[in-house]
Chains A and B, each alone.
Chain A
């Protein structure tokens, strides 16, 4: 840290100790193209703390075995660790019961599960599914598929120039035909934090079932599914400093009970004969086959880690990073921020009038700075702002003000490369 930045930190004794948390993430010590890595692509995937890496390592070294069925010691240990992690994840999102906490591969699978097991089972021709214009493709395409299967219709709530849901339009589009409302809690491309509590309340008033895509929310803020009152909540482990290939679908128990299974196989049944099969109880009904055992245990470790740092401290530091980066970006000539909602997670999406995002991404990479460039799996958002792509710096609590300075310096370097 520079002296200036260190002095800023001293002003806030309660603030998160960035240098200390950085030491928990081995990859942050990497040198890329001869420069220290500045990892600003956290909305794509977050880095893993030593606690998660060692948990995975320990599982494979010491007690790797299948769960739920073995009578031997290792299986008991693996089952206890996997189910213990589920309980801690339940507490992390304040679900009422572990029966409401289903292990899936990630947010995408969670949404597909709801689309197929709730949507396909219940929707009729003419029913409506409501999404917003800022959704990730994974909260659009599963609904398009179920619309094709059932004759239901996908409706889209527009967003404003600032990247906020137009609430009057949301209320107008909520109709007696609306059966499902599927919303990003936080937009991956814009950073917008949607007023989901209010939106869920309005949807439930009209009798619609609600799903929140929480992939970009859980790493940054406390999520309480009971307080949000949503019916389904989906998130991925890998954006929450946990392993890839594991995620969570929270579902209201009553709805999950009524839904048919997602896949057939082992572990999701009570008894099988060729005439009839009895589904297992929740949550196992939705967990066919040997799951990602290490992933579940690792996600438990990630949730513990995030809890130990504290989401309040995380949120406060990230907001400081965002405010600092936003101010600095506004000083850059020719830079336009895409997504200027008053309520944002630490995502800075932008375009420059002198360079395409991909060229900027390559030039920043040569400086050791990792950002994302492209459409961010949100092509309708790119269309909304009439840009082919954006550059996106997305922050986590281990990022520093110095890294923001390096980002801005990298943009200025790119300007020089293109000004010849």
Chain B
């Protein structure tokens, strides 16, 4: 039987209630919108780069707890990273949620590993990955809004 608390771990509930790095980032170099037309989740991601390094990152928008917590945890994980490191974290996170076999060692993902429970809820994976796809598109220099569909 599924235990709902494996999905809504304390860290997720906390980041949903008090999202970190939430709100408009004044003077951002890059911004992009992402939305999930299936459920109406929307977010805007703001990025400030210092050379190749993410000097600041914020988001705002509206979504479910999984989507807000994922974005909040993502912004924490990204601050101060180089764009190459950011891409590596994106790949690891994507692998965590979508690979047929879950990674044996999630320690390298830090707090992000709390989102591993989403694996067992196929209809909710897009909630968790929306902000990540938006970030990936930003880093690839795309400017059209990201849609999960």
Contact = CB atoms under 8 A, between A and B. Distances in A.
Interface of A: 33-34, 355-359, 362-363, 366, 373-375, 379, 382, 388-389, 417-418, 420
B57 interface: no
B39 A418 contact: no
Contact of B40 (A34, A355, A374, A420): A374
A418 B42 contact: no
Contact of B66 (A33, A359, A375): A359
Interface in B11-43: 13, 16-17, 38-42
B111 interface: no
B4 A374 contact: no
| 8 closest cross-chain pairs (CB), A and B | A356-B64, A358-B64, A388-B40, A34-B1, A366-B4, A359-B65, A389-B40, A388-B62
Interface of B: 1-5, 7-8, 10, 13, 16-17, 38-42, 62-66, 121, 123-124, 127
A19 B1 CA distance: 27
B62 to A, nearest CB: 5
Nearest to A373: B39
A356 B8 CA distance: 13
A59 B65 CA distance: 47
A108 B94 CA distance: 37
A361 to B, nearest CB: 9
A362 B124 CA distance: 9
A362 B7 contact: yes
A407 to B, nearest CB: 16
Contact of B8 (A33, A359, A375): A359
B8 A358 contact: no
Contacts of A379: 40
Given A362-B7, A366-B4, A417-B8, 9 more contacts: A356-B63, A356-B65, A358-B124, A359-B65, A359-B66, A362-B121, A366-B2, A374-B40, A388-B42
Contact of B4 (A357, A363, A382): A363
A164 B117 CA distance: 42
Nearest to A389: B40
Given A388-B40, A417-B4, A358 B13 contact: no
Contacts of A33: 1-2
